[in-house]
Structure 1
Amino acid sequence: MINFNGTLQDSDLQLTVANRSFRYGDGVFETLKVVNGKILFFEDHYFRLMASMRIIRMQIPMSFTLEFLEKEILKLVTSLSIQNSARVRFSVFRNEGGFYLPTDNTVSYVIEASSIQSELYQFAKSTFEVDLYKDFIIPKQLLSTLKTANKLTNITASIFAKENYLDGALLINEDKNVIEAANGNLFMIIGNKLITPPISEGCLNGIMRKQIITLAKQMTTLEVLETPISPFDLQKADELFVTNVVVGIQPITKYRKKEFGFVFAEKLLGRLNALLKA
């Protein structure tokens, strides 16, 4: 079952070949987590979605209030009886018409949801090995920071990781700096410093990224920096980890020949879960 423009229907949504998201990747989306009938960090998701739609010049419907979208998401997960712990994708795409130049800037939306096992965050894998993906880059531009329907670099990087028996891949920009993982934002611990690339490097403006930065700044023994990360910096790191809203925090345990612990990541995970219980 899905929610298509406010109507709950069979999950076999029939789109024509003229669909602009299919043809051109002309769409944006949010991946959300619902726990006990509450959408985590929903205001942040909502404002990021509105900003993304404005940036790519979609016509935002008057009905797209925070309350309306929240109601539509919860309507679906409740109908599926997965409101206690669910993963949700909220996709918005421009309606049919035109070629590169649209003839219509109005939009449609579709909401999908599936159950996930744990309400609280936990490490998804005990080991997580990564390497650099260098076939394609993420450009340092505003579009790179959005969750658009065009994620070919993330897709090919994920295939690269699988083909090389890795758990994930790290993406680079045109300066050859490491900006993120294929499945989330990247953080690095060196001594008492927590470092993550700034949005200006081209990384995703992640919702969980924002939460982790906020939590880390509350730890007085830690200095939080948003600064570029080179591949050489990874070899100096004490810890590396990836963040996204569904998984929370995933420690990287091996990059090339170097292995990493996850003491700090574990502390952050505890603080994150405490935030959810509050």
Structure 2
Amino acid sequence: MIPAFINFNGEILPADTPLLTTANRGFKYGDGLFESMRMFKGELKFSDLHADRLQRGMKALKIDGYSQMDAWFLKTKVEELAIRNKAKHGRIRLTVYRDAGGLYTPSLNKMGYCIELTPADEPRYFLNNKGLIMDIFTDIPKPTNYLSNIKTCNSLTYVMAGIFKEQSKLDEVFLLNQNGFLCEAGSSNVFVWYDNHLYTPALSEGCVEGVMRQVVINIAKKNNIAVTEAQINPDILYEADEVFLTNASRGIQHVMGYGVKRYFNKVSKTLLDELNKL
């Protein structure tokens, strides 16, 4: 379903309104960051976690106005946009860019933003019926620095991973960091169930600091499931009992296969049930 309206710097406008010029720094340099979120029953989910991550990302990129982007602001603006789009459930993308001139060095650090809503029919998260078939994308290792944990608008690594995925007829791909360790998936964080223990790459390994990643870690601990953030050798994918992916848009998605290896989905089902209770 195509959304009818967006929020551009506080104005509700038709989604097809021409808005950006070639001077926009998000277009020119990928100078910005974004949040992917979900709305169920007219309410933005995990707004506190999204606001916290967004504010920390804006601070790190030295974009002014981060104090404005609190949970109340996100909930209010998303729910307002949902009413205009006559949507109860949907996927939300909030893009924040540096609204300034200049070349690599910006003339200002002023904030600009846009909120987009894609209506959806699902009132909760669902586990994928068909497990994902995956492989490792090795062409562009992801660097490990503080920018790696932020969902920046500079996404060429993920674009090239997506092209590799399509050309290889895969459902998703794993990404490695510059040291050859497991980092994340093309659009999600990764969890590995091995020897009755849940592992996920630590933030020091260069993965995006996913909101759903933190939610799942919290759920696992609350349900007495041992979970460790660690440096993970990709060889563990051949030995693991279960692998699943997490992001705020889709919740939890289980992986069925990597090469000839096949996985179960018992833990992912358990965690998804607990997620929907939230």
Q: Which residue of 1 aligns with 2:211?
A: 207
For the residues of structure 2 that align with 1:171 and 1:207, how far apart are their CA atoms?
A: 19
* Residue in 1 that maps onto 2:124: 120
- Residues 48, 70 of structure 2: 8 Å contact kept: no
- Secondary structure of the residue aligned to 2:19 is coil
Q: In structure 1, the residue corresponding to 2:140 is in which secondary structure?
A: coil
Q: Deviations over 1:139-196 (max 9, x none)?
A: 1111010011011111111110111110000000011001110010000001210000
The 5 A counterparts of 1:156-175 are: 156-175=160-179
Equivalent of residue 85 in structure 2, options 70, 75, 80: 80
Establish whether residue 29 from structure 1 lines up as the match of residue 39 from structure 2.
no
- Give 1:124 deviation, angstroms: 3.2
Q: CA deviation at 1:66?
A: 3.0
Q: Which runs of 5+ in 1 are unaligned?
A: none
Distance 1:218 1:65, change over 3 A: closer
Query: 1:70: which partner in 2?
Result: 75
Decide whether the 8 Å contact of 1:125 with 1:250 is kept in 2. no
Equivalent residue in structure 2 for 1:97, among 87, 94, 101:
101
Cα distance in 1 for residues equivalent to 2:158 and 2:67? 33
SS at match of 2:139: coil
Q: 193, 199, 203: which one pairs with 2:197?
A: 193
Say yes or no: does 1:180 pair with 2:184. Answer: yes
Alpha-carbon distance between aligned partners in 1 of 2:231 and 2:163, rounded to the nearest angstrom: 26
Partner of 2:140: 136
- Alignment counterpart, residue 152 of structure 1, candidates 152, 156, 175: 156
The answer to whether 1:14 aligns with 2:31 is no
Distance 1:93 1:217, change over 3 A: same
**Partner Cα separation in structure 2 for residue 170 and residue 235 of structure 1:** 13
**2:270 matched to 1:261?**
no
Q: What is the deviation of 1:247? A: 0.6
Structure 1 residue 261, shift from structure 2 partner: 1.2
Q: Per the alignment, in what secondary structure is the counterpart of residue 121 of structure 1? A: coil
Mapped contact 2:99–2:108 kept (Cα < 8 A): yes
Q: CA deviation at 1:260?
A: 0.7
Shift of 1:125: 4.5
RMSD: 1.2
Q: Distance in 1 between matches of 2:156 and 2:127?
A: 26
Cα pair 2:59 2:66 within 8 Å, conserved: no
How far apart are 1:63 and its partner, in Å? 4.2
How far is 1:263 from its partner? 1.0
| Partner residue, 1:46 | 51
Q: Deviation digits for residues 40-84 of structure 1, max 9, x if unmatched?
A: 1000000111110110111116644432332111111111011x2
Q: CA deviation at 1:228?
A: 1.2
Give the Cα separation in 2 of the matches to 1:10 and 1:180. 35
SS in structure 2 of the partner of residue 253 of structure 1: strand
Question: What is the one-letter code of the residue matched to 2:246?
Answer: T
Q: Distance in 2 between matches of 1:42 and 1:66?
A: 5
Amino acid in structure 2 at the alignment position of 1:251: H
CA contact (8 A) 1:216 1:268 kept: yes
CA distance in 2, matches of 1:117, 1:230: 38
Aligned pairs, number: 273
Can you list the C-alpha shifts for 1:209-237, whole angstroms capped at 9, x where unaligned? 001001111222x3211111112111110
Secondary structure of the equivalent of 1:243?
Answer: strand
1:106–1:146 Cα change, 3 Å: same
Measure the CA separation in 2 of the matches of 1:241 and 1:226.
15
Change (3 A) 1:174 1:79: same
Q: Within 5 Å, which residues of 2 pair with 1:239-258?
A: 239-258=242-261
Instruction: Verify the 8 A CA contact 2:7 2:81 in the aligned structure 1.
Output: yes
Which is worse superposed, 53-62 or 226-235? 53-62
CA displacement at 1:30 relative to structure 2: 0.5
